[in-house]
Amino acid sequence: MDFFEIIFETIMEFLQTGHPAVIHFPIIGILMGFTAGVTALAIRIVANILNIRPRITILTYDMFMRYVERFEFASLILVILGIFGYGIAGITGFFSAGGVEPAINNTLLEFKVRLSMIAILILFIPVFLKIYVGVVYRKHLFTTDSYIPGIMYLIPLVIAAPLTAIVAGAGGVYVYGHSILQTFGLGWILPVP
């Protein structure tokens, strides 16, 4: 076997058996992106509170704003990685199921595909909002004069995180016959396989 055949076979093996290894990337990307966004908003609120009291000179407003910008950037990168993770998990999921047709002919897998597509579309909202505010207003979302852009950034993440948990739960039911959603009494969310 030559080098390119080995590479091709390795890639095909990963696509067929790699789904369990990559399904955690969208979950982590979304949850950590949300956490970094909430941290940026919290630091911004603290900075505004401390800015009201000029006697506190050790912790400067500018220093806090730099941290807000860093957490905002980290959140954006993590959300983008979550979107890519969804794509890779979807591709490997189709290969694991034996192709697109078997995946969409199974009630549970069709449910996973539809919910994943909805979650991905929702995840594009904060990315586009960040780009829009950055290009049009030349500001960071969490350092504008209002808290509204930062909150509008976080709302889609609050929606996408539970959708991702439901997608993961449906995968657990498909593979193992049960999921943690059923353990917590949320099995009614999932379609009957």
For the segment 121-162, what is each residue's pLDDT rounded down to a tens digit? Answer: 999 999 999 999 989 988 899 988 889 999 999 999 999 999
User: SS3 for 69-81, per residue?
Assistant: HHHHHHHHHHHHH
pLDDT band at 47 (very low <50, low <70, confident <90, very high): confident
Which pLDDT does position 23 carry in this prediction?
82
Residues 6 or more apart in contact with residue 58 via CB below 8 angstroms: none
Q: What is the value of pTM for the model shown?
A: 0.84
Q: How far is CA 90 from CA 14, 73, 97, in A?
A: 13, 26, 10
- Could you give the residue ranges of the DSSP H alpha helices within 18-147? 19-22, 24-52, 61-97, 100-105, 107-132
Question: In the 8-state DSSP scheme, what is residue 191?
Answer: P
Map residue 10 onto helix, strand or coil: helix
Give me the chain's average pLDDT, please.
88
What's the rounded Cα separation, in Å, for the pair 107 and 35?
Answer: 33
For the segment 50-103, what is each residue's pLDDT rounded down to a tens digit? Answer: 776 655 555 677 888 899 999 999 999 999 999 999 998 988 888 888 888 888
Asked whether 119 and 160 are in contact (CB, 8 A), the reply is yes
Length of the chain: 193
| Token representation of residue 155 | 């709302």
> What are the sequence ranges of the domains in the chain?
3-189
